[in-house]
Structure 1
Amino acid sequence: MLYYFNSNKMFFLFIIFFSTLISISSNSWLGCWIGLEINLLSFIPLISSPNNLMNSEASLKYFLTQSIASINFLFSIIMNLFLMKNFFMDNIISILMNSSLLMKMGSTPFHFWFPNIIEGLSWFNCLILMTWQKISPMILLFYYFNLNFLMFIMMLNVLIGAIGGFNQTSLRKIMAFSSINNLGWMISALLISETLWMVYFLLYSFLISIMCGLFYSMNIFYLNQMFNFNINFSIKISIMINFLSLGGLPPFLGFFPKWLIINFMISNNSYIISFFFIMMSLITLMFYIRIIYSSFLFFSFKFKWFKIFIKNKFLILINLFSYISLLGMILSTFFFF
């Protein structure tokens, strides 16, 4: 039975991988839409579970929101094919197409489904939704974008992602709002160049993978679990390094792509936008530090029957990657200068 489940999971992951390739390599908008639909239909069986009501609810919500986004995307494709082209209609079509793609990736102002669905998923599915599921919409967004609309959206993403993380006790929701915040940075990287977006996305995926791996190995979902459990000190150090790196604090690895984006913005005289981005990063760092603070300084009574002993090679590998993340920015500065 376990083998059957794992083989099914691998099969759907395989389809998700190839549906993304279909979307980004298609030479027609209809082919891109078909790739997105295959991706949607293969991700739903991965997240749904008959034994867990939260998973079933999350899969239903995901299906409804993604279906609405797909209908809007298909409608914008039809409008692009059959309507007369002028400046006004081009703007309308590009905004409609961009909106449907933004809804697919969970961007503001269409982000309301994103934290609710992530709350009902396992850490592995959260990782897929926060990383791989954003690739197709982001690259399709690069093919046909409205610059003024996306500049407004990226600032809104950074703002909502920073403010939304306050007063959250669920780590999955905190990671969801962190993903929305980083989505603003990714859209700005996409508007600069596709290579810069790829660098940012790969480093972000690396950091998110470490965080989700840590929380999965310790079975932690809420903020109060960070100090209820007798967690090893090295694990707490790893959590601290990765949260500070995810927030973009130097000299950690997560600062490197943000530093590149800020440099491009300043060279193009976008001082106000770069200042706004930096201020919102400081707010996200504040609620990351709150998690670290609760992990390091608060301790409950340590009962003999309430301990966890993690003897996992996977966790040792995660710790190794965490320290690589710490050294990454220092090595990159030597490389560039």
Structure 2
Amino acid sequence: MFNNLTNFMLFIVLMLGSVISISSNSWLGAWMGLEINLLSFIPLMTNLKYSTSTESALKYFIVQALASTTLLFVVLVLTFNQTFLPQYNLCLNTILNSALLMKMGAAPFHSWFPEVMEGLTWWMSFILMTWQKIAPMILVSYCFLYKFMIIVIILSILIGSIGGFNQTNLRTLMAYSSINHLGWMLSSLIISMSYWLTYFVFYTILSLSIIYTFNYLNIYYFSQIFSMMNNNPIMKFSLFCNFLSLGGLPPFTGFLPKWITIQALSEMNLFIIITMVTMTLVTLFFYIRLTYAAFMIHSLQPLWNKSEMNKMTTNMMLLNFFSLFGLMLIFFISLFI
């Protein structure tokens, strides 16, 4: 994942920036942590082997700088002026929420996210999809505006579902999937921080399973999946079970955090639950379409030797055990509680 010691140190600084933001007792300290995180992630994004990584790093920097500037402006205004009328405070809090949502790539501030993901390596994409969302999302929980967030949640799930149609680039598909899951994570944040943490951990592990496979086999487009899986049906089955689990299809593990969120939100807002479940069915549609095509289309051209495929199969089964058998394990655990 890291080519040298410098990249490893940059990753440590990136994690430190997020920790500073989360643990800060002032908005100015949180802004400083976000800037440390940004300035350490930009060099990690740039990879000389990928000509598109520089363009993605530049786009990411411009968007994050705009969000940071907006955040700093609102923080300074709220710090030095404490006599605003309630409607002005509401406006400033909305702008503050918007800046943080832009940083994490939630709709309607999402347009940069698929374009940046399209030019990154798989591991940098994984960091962008998971770790880079932690600090902004926790900061959003400090100034949560319920009605505004309901709109953001619906838009994120809607755009994340519809945007995945007719995508041939797997990184773009994963970006729209991340936007969809971001809506679910924000909805779990309405309930409590523990619900959000549960959903985030499940999402991270499922994403890791899929991205590990794509990175190992150097797969970036659908056409490569169709020809890659012919010599190893076990790997094919494992990978696409992970896709269905990421989409939240029972009885896979990915359904569990959605189930918990639905059960908790059903007592608060039934309308948003109906919208979220309906849009998730759209996401499952293009996952199942991809799965069906990969199982039906056959190519006679092998792309990897047998020893590499057998090694990959062993690692995949170990990594994907959580995804494939999680609900069965939870069932047996519940018998003893």
- Give the Cα separation in 2 of the matches to 1:219 and 1:95: 41
- Give the Cα separation in 2 of the matches to 1:248 and 1:135: 21
Say if 2:234 and 2:313, in contact at 8 Å, map to a contact too: no
RMSD value, Cα: 1.7
In structure 2, the partner of 1:321 is 319
Shift of 1:143: 0.9
- Give the Cα separation in 1 of the matches to 2:153 and 2:233: 37
1:245-324, aligned counterparts within 5 Å?
A: 245-268=245-268, 270-302=269-301, 306-309=303-306, 310-311=308-309, 316-324=314-322
Please tell me the residue identity of whatever aligns with 2:201: L
Shift of 1:308: 4.2
Please tell me the residue identity of whatever aligns with 1:30: L
Shift of 1:51: 4.5
Q: Which 10-residue stretch deviates more, 171-180 or 42-51?
A: 42-51
Misfit runs of 4+, over 4 Å: 311-315
Please tell me the residue identity of whatever aligns with 1:24: I
Please tell me the residue identity of whatever aligns with 1:48: T
Please tell me the residue identity of whatever aligns with 1:64: I
Q: Unmatched 5+ residue regions in structure 2?
A: none
In structure 1, the partner of 2:79 is 81
- Give the Cα separation in 2 of the matches to 1:261 and 1:301: 44
1:153-164, aligned counterparts within 5 Å?
A: 153-164=152-163
Say if 2:114 and 2:172, in contact at 8 Å, map to a contact too: yes
C-alpha distance after superposition, 1:70-122 (max 9, x if no partner) = 00110110121123233202211111111000000011111111000100000
Q: TM-score with structure 1 length normalisation? A: 0.94
Alignment pair present for 1:242 and 2:242? yes
In structure 1, the partner of 2:217 is 218
- Give the Cα separation in 2 of the matches to 1:46 and 1:164: 27
1:39 aligned to which of 37, 40, 47: 37
1:96-135, aligned counterparts within 5 Å?
A: 96-135=95-134
Alignment pair present for 1:174 and 2:150? no
1:27 aligned to which of 16, 25, 28: 25
C-alpha distance after superposition, 1:46-76 (max 9, x if no partner) = 0113453201100100110000010011011
- Give the Cα separation in 2 of the matches to 1:30 and 1:167: 42
C-alpha distance after superposition, 1:160-199 (max 9, x if no partner) = 0000000101111110000000000000001110000000
Shift of 1:316: 2.4
C-alpha distance after superposition, 1:283-317 (max 9, x if no partner) = 101111122122211012326xx444425756523
Alignment pair present for 1:62 and 2:73? no
Please tell me the residue identity of whatever aligns with 1:266: S
Please tell me the residue identity of whatever aligns with 1:29: W
Indicate the SS of the match to 1:183: helix
How has the CA–CA distance of structure 1 residues 33 and 44 changed in structure 2, closer, same or farther, with 3 Å as cutoff? same
In structure 2, the partner of 1:53 is 51
1:183-202, aligned counterparts within 5 Å?
A: 183-202=182-201
- Give the Cα separation in 2 of the matches to 1:196 and 1:52: 38
Aligned residues: 332
Say if 1:20 and 1:35, in contact at 8 Å, map to a contact too: yes
Q: Which 10-residue stretch deviates more, 18-27 or 314-323?
A: 314-323
How has the CA–CA distance of structure 1 residues 290 and 182 changed in structure 2, closer, same or farther, with 3 Å as cutoff? same
In structure 1, the partner of 2:7 is 9
Q: Which 10-residue stretch deviates more, 22-31 or 78-87?
A: 78-87
In structure 2, the partner of 1:148 is 147
In structure 2, the partner of 1:209 is 208
- Give the Cα separation in 2 of the matches to 1:115 and 1:176: 5
Please tell me the residue identity of whatever aligns with 1:278: V
Q: TM-score with structure 2 length normalisation? A: 0.94
Indicate the SS of the match to 2:284: helix
